[in-house]
Amino acid sequence: MADNRGKKFTIKSFRTHSPMDPTAARSVWSQLAGAVDEIHNRNASLLSFEELYRNAYNLVLHRHGSLLYDGVCEKITQHLMNVAEEVHSAEEGFLLQSLQIAWEHHRTTMMMVRDILMYMDRTYVVQSKRRPIYNLGLYLFQTVVWEYKDVKDRCVRSVLDMIAAERNATSVENLHQHDGLLKSVLGMLLELGYSTGMSSGNDQNMQPKSSVYERDFEAIFLATTQEYFRVESLECVSSSSVPAYVQKAEQRLKEEQFRSSRYLASTSCSPLLSIVETEFIDRHAKTLVDNPVSGVATMLRDDRLTDLKQMYELFQRVPPTVEFIRATLSSSVKQSGEGLINDYERGAADAGTFVRGVLTLREKYSTIVETSFSSEKKAQKKLKESLERFLNVDSRAAHCLAIYVDESLRSGLRGATEAEINDQLTKVITVFRYLQDKDVFEAFYKQYLAKRLLSNKSVSEDAEKNMVALLKAECGYQFTSKLEGMFNDMRISKDTREAFKAYKQTSLTRTKVDIEVDVLTTGYWPSQTVAPCLLPAAVSDAQSDFLKYYLKTHTGRKLQWQTSTGNADIRGSFQPDKGSLRRHELCVSTYQMCILVLFNDQDTLSLKDIREATNIPEEELQRHLISLCTPKHRILKKASRGKGISGDKDTFTYNNNYSSKLKRVKIPLVSMKDCMSGKNLGGEANGGAKNAIPAPVEEDRRHLVEASIVRIMKARKSLHHNDLIAEVSRQLSVRFVPSPPFIKQRIESLIEREYLERDDRDRRLYKYMA
């Protein structure tokens, strides 16, 4: 051994512990066992926890951990058996309170025991893979007290009875008096669920358990909850109005969510609310929506937007059920739209009334979607589809909209501010967007625009140009190029008239009548196939003078006169049998002028005489004659009775007794059944079929589809049938939506003319022929 003399510091050897024999170990355990009893008896203040900790430490240190662990387990079990009997013997009204007291005391006791045996938890328990002491106490409370006889069943039943009493309460007084008790008991079940742990071969009774809360309480609680709300919702749906039912459902959802926050586990909230949603919303959604007295249709009809909003927000909790509301929204729009169409068909509403009805309908349901559906995208799409569905049944809507614009720009917006005009035109474009047959609208719009421009009957040129600008922004330049060309023609014609007037003054040309001519480009304006009528000599001379001037200044051009679209101011002299001579300036059409001038030579003429002298087409001749024979403007007297003309021998006599309070009188034209009107959208070309496309539009469509096919095939070289159909439809959708059969017809036509050919192996594959 080394000599330590002279050294100031030395390393001390390990202190050797004498081994603890079993007798000494049992003696130490006896002291600890007594301490555990004292803790159970609420006498912990008499104990020295430092000494107890040291004794437990020594037992574990000397490899007597098993003695200590098993002994503590036995002591706790013995105590809990007495507790279980006490809880079991408690009266029903105090059962939960007894369990709560026992549980809270046991938790406190186990925390003290855990502190004493802390060293054992860190060493022996970890090495032997047994439950920590506190978890052991939870497990023993579960198996000895909670699962003792019928304690568990009685306690769960008591908890459910308290919850049912809360749900059935009609007063808020003492409503939450049991919250603390319920939270403690259910919290106990949650904590007992944490007693799972690893078991060793010698500990077969401590296999891991599933959550006690979920197994013993939550499953039963959710099942009884589902039955409770199933019965309640069934009673409510049969006895309450839909708004009252919605309020009840919202109330129950709030109550159950609040209940969950007060004493249920956080994991119970979602399944609990899901049950309420299933029973109150999902199970009865269709019945609620279709309720004939207070359902969605009634809410939409009566503008009960608040009720509808509450219902929508409730149904959003179960997203598939919202589709029932959207479907009813769509059905309501469709029904209202069909009502407008029916009124129009039976003559109860004209075109303007129809369009105003559509605008009102759209505004109403747009407000509903914005307010009650919170501008939901799916609801907006449903509204759009519903409006498109009834507006595109046939081409009537396109024509009605053109008539409405014509009425607005002709006189309806007279006196309106610029902002009001723009607002009205924007609404028109809103309806225009829903139309698939935009080219039909364009055809009729162009026709009415031509009449407004040629008769100078627009409220303002700016309003007209604003409308064209809106159409251009919506559909592109090609859609409005002809309309813009019409305005350009009118501007050039104005300059031409001024130049012609100056020409007459310098050339000293004198005519009996003054003539103003609008020179129009054939491709821009609606085509006219009517031959010019025979004009009076004086008018014909003036016409020749203009023709001479125009062709002199514009070489290489050809003018074709359209007498069917002109108008004239003539002076009429009326000498009654009794009274003085009266003179009126009559504003008439060119055809009416030609008719009236004939009566300068004769007072009475037959229909045949007038036709031969004017060469006016039969339908227009009768229309203009009847307009001159109306009671309000009876310039001519018709021999036959009734509104119509009896035949060629029917005669017309100049009415010398005609009078009017106005010096200048405009003679309006009457509508004829066989003339184009808002109720016959196709005009003569389609025989009056309400869903037919006007012949000129149909012809344009053929050219457009063929041109589109050729462009696509020239770029692609080869394309499958379905792909070609889809691409053509996409390209032309800005003007109209061609049907697949129509596109197929044009493909066949192009194949016959050798623009395309079919593939030899795949007959549905087309190839472009250069």
Q: Which residues pair with 651 in a beta bridge?
A: 606
Q: Which residues pair with 652 in a beta bridge?
A: 605, 638
Coil vs helix vs strand at 719:
strand
Element (H, E) at 766: strand 765-768
- Distance CA(56)–CA(59), nearest Å, equals 5
The confidence score (pLDDT) of residue 284 equals 96
Mean pLDDT along residues 720-724: 93
Instruction: Check if the beta carbon of residue 140 is closer than 8 Å to that of residue 80.
Output: yes
- pLDDT, averaged across the chain: 89
Does pLDDT of 56 surpass 60? yes
Instruction: Check if the beta carbon of residue 752 is closer than 8 Å to that of residue 758.
Output: no
Mean pLDDT along residues 653-675: 82
Length of the chain: 770
The confidence score (pLDDT) of residue 195 equals 64
The confidence score (pLDDT) of residue 345 equals 87
Smallest Cα–Cα separation from 246: which of 312, 326, 180?
312
pLDDT digits (tens, 9 = 90+) for 169-228: 877 666 788 899 999 999 999 999 876 444 433 443 443 445 899 999 999 999 999 999
Mean pLDDT along residues 220-242: 96
Integer angstrom CA distances of residue 531 from 443, 556, 560, 675: 22, 22, 9, 17
Mean pLDDT along residues 132-158: 95
The confidence score (pLDDT) of residue 680 equals 37
Coil vs helix vs strand at 583:
strand
Does pLDDT of 685 surpass 50? no
Coil vs helix vs strand at 205:
coil
Domain assignments of the chain as residue spans, ordered by start: 22-209, 210-280, 491-563, 566-666, 693-768
Coil vs helix vs strand at 666:
strand
Ranked by mean pLDDT, which of 89-103, 335-349, 686-700 comes out on top? 89-103
Coil vs helix vs strand at 637:
strand
- Distance CA(667)–CA(58), nearest Å, equals 126
- Distance CA(188)–CA(571), nearest Å, equals 108
- Distance CA(99)–CA(185), nearest Å, equals 8
The confidence score (pLDDT) of residue 394 equals 84
Lowest mean pLDDT among 56-65, 79-88, 526-535: 526-535
Does pLDDT of 675 surpass 80? no
The reported pTM is: 0.79
Question: What CATH topology corresponds to 22-209?
Answer: 5 helical Cullin repeat like (1.20.1310)
Smallest Cα–Cα separation from 435: which of 527, 353, 342, 355?
355
pLDDT digits (tens, 9 = 90+) for 518-550: 999 988 998 777 788 999 999 998 899 899 999
Lowest mean pLDDT among 14-28, 155-169, 189-203: 189-203
Element (H, E) at 586: strand 582-589
- Distance CA(104)–CA(79), nearest Å, equals 14
pLDDT band at 581 (very low <50, low <70, confident <90, very high): confident
Buried b (16+ CB within 10 A) or exposed e, 406-424: bbbbbebbeebeeeebbeb
- Distance CA(295)–CA(309), nearest Å, equals 13
Residue type, 157: R
pLDDT band at 18 (very low <50, low <70, confident <90, very high): low
Residue type, 56: A
Residue 149, by phi and psi: left (phi above 0), alpha (psi -120 to 50) or beta?
Answer: left
pLDDT band at 642 (very low <50, low <70, confident <90, very high): confident
CATH number of 693-768: 1.10.10.10
Does pLDDT of 753 surpass 50? yes
Instruction: Check if the beta carbon of residue 456 is closer than 8 Å to that of residue 420.
Output: no
- Distance CA(305)–CA(284), nearest Å, equals 21
Top CATH class of 210-280 equals: mainly alpha
Coil vs helix vs strand at 203:
coil
Question: Cα 640 from chain centroid?
Answer: 59
Encode 232-248 in three state secondary structure. Answer: HHHHHHHHCCHHHHHHH
Lowest mean pLDDT among 395-409, 502-516, 686-700: 686-700
Q: Do 210-280 and 22-209 fall under one CATH topology?
A: yes
Top CATH class of 566-666 equals: alpha beta
Largest CA distance in the chain: 169
In the chain, pLDDT over 70 holds for what percent of residues? 92
The confidence score (pLDDT) of residue 1 equals 46
pLDDT digits (tens, 9 = 90+) for 127-136: 999 999 999 9
Token couple for 282: 């999902």
Within 13 Å and on the Cβ side, how many CA atoms surround 766? 27
Lowest mean pLDDT among 54-68, 167-181, 414-428, 435-449: 167-181
- Distance CA(482)–CA(488), nearest Å, equals 10
pLDDT digits (tens, 9 = 90+) for 458-497: 888 899 999 999 999 999 888 899 999 999 999 999 999 9
The confidence score (pLDDT) of residue 13 equals 55
pLDDT band at 512 (very low <50, low <70, confident <90, very high): confident
φ, ψ for residue 276, nearest 5 deg: -60, -40
CB atoms within 10 A of CB 569: 13
Residue bearing the bigger pLDDT, 177 or 2:
177
- Distance CA(612)–CA(147), nearest Å, equals 116
pLDDT digits (tens, 9 = 90+) for 346-401: 888 889 999 999 999 999 999 999 999 999 999 999 999 999 999 998 888 999 99
Name the burial class of residue 208, with classes exposed (0-12), middle (13-18) and buried (19+) by CB atoms within 10 angstroms of its CB: exposed
The confidence score (pLDDT) of residue 690 equals 56
Coil vs helix vs strand at 476:
coil
pLDDT digits (tens, 9 = 90+) for 593-638: 999 999 999 999 999 999 999 999 999 999 999 999 988 889 999 8
Going by the DSSP 8-state scheme, the letter that residue 569 receives in this structure is: E
- Distance CA(389)–CA(435), nearest Å, equals 9
The confidence score (pLDDT) of residue 205 equals 42
